[in-house]
Amino acid sequence: MVYRSYGGPEVLEPAELPRPKAHVDSVVVRVKAAALNPADLALQAGALDDAVATYFPVVPGWDIAGVVESAGPAATEFAPGDEVVGYIRSDVQHAHGGLAELVSADVRTLVHKPSTMGFAEASGLPLAGLTAYQAVVHTLDMRPGETLLVHGAAGGVGSLAVQIGRSRGAQVIGTAAERDHGYVRSLGATPVVYGDGVAERVLDLVPCGADAVLDTVGQSVVAATAATARPRARVASVADIGLPGVTPVFCRLDGDDLRAVADLAAAGRLSVRVGAVFPLDRAADAQRALAAGSTGGKIVVSVAD
């Protein structure tokens, strides 16, 4: 699927493009599944045109899971037949995204797919997993016995942050809509309902306040719940950038971090909730579902059986 001009889901269309090639240190991957992210919609709408060079037609999508078809001579990390997961983001938007049957990917963007996961679930790991891992491990430096408050604990990044926090030995409290409380509990966190009085409900659980707070919601939720954090608590946000005392978190491609995320999944300590799977010819509908926020869990496009 490609878009030839900026716009919404309506600009997506099927296209026949030249078969991608394996360069010296890249591999050609037959994509089995590609997960969607809000960044895909923003880029497609042209919201980042001032920052990201774009050459049409563009194949959107950064998160993939698939099987290696061929490998370049220096791409010794992978061999044909290997199942892989990739965060194939580029500094340039062009015809090398994940909503395609085949894609050429630099080996630095790929890791072996956890055998415990199917392709649809695994495709939801890269961007959300990297963001959550870098927030919890690097920015917040969570330690055993500490308390982590995650705003948006049922969301794509928030649910993975909950699990990564638990893997670090932290007690986790997660704000979420009441309908998602069972899911948040299944991840090992104590759920707290959104809305008026949320700060008091958190403090009922941790009267001295949380040691660290991760915001995945935005809308100034950190400022509204400032009383839930201890003095000198570490506070980070992936959604509200520029708030005083809040460290912004941006997803950064890092092979070691992506392998750590995959290792946690392989060990059964990290799972991805898939909300809906669409076939490739309904990728525009998948984007509409993502924009509407009507489906709990990751929106995934199934590219090949």
We report the CATH number of the domain holding residue 203 as: 3.40.50.720
Q: Which domain holds residue 216?
A: 128-248
With bands split at pLDDT 50, 70 and 90, how would you rate the model's confidence at 304?
confident
In order of 18, 62, 77, the CA distances from 28 in angstroms are 13, 15, 13
Of 123-132, 173-182, 193-202, the range with the lowest mean pLDDT is 193-202
Share of the chain above pLDDT 70, in %: 100
Same-domain check for residues 107 and 138: no
pLDDT of residue 78: 97
Q: How do residues 92-147 score in pLDDT, each as one tens digit? A: 888 899 999 999 999 999 999 999 999 999 999 999 999 999 999 999 999 999 99
Same-domain check for residues 208 and 156: yes
- Residue at 115 is within a domain: yes
Contact 25, 75 (CB under 8 A): yes
- Residue at 229 is within a domain: yes
Percent helix, strand and coil across the chain, each to the nearest 5: 30, 25, 40
Beta strands in 102-248 (DSSP E): 102-106, 110-112, 147-151, 171-176, 190-193, 210-215, 229-237, 247-248
Closest CA to 273 of 136, 115, 160, 116: 160
Beta bridge partners of 31: 66
Based on the structure, what is the number of domains in the chain? 2
Which one-letter DSSP state was computed for residue 51?
Answer: T
Q: Is the pLDDT of residue 305 over 70?
A: no
Q: Can you give the CATH number for the domain in which 90 is found?
A: 3.90.180.10
Q: How do residues 135-163 score in pLDDT, each as one tens digit? A: 999 999 999 999 999 999 999 999 999 99
pLDDT of residue 195: 84
Beta bridge partners of 85: 65, 111
Same-domain check for residues 53 and 91: yes
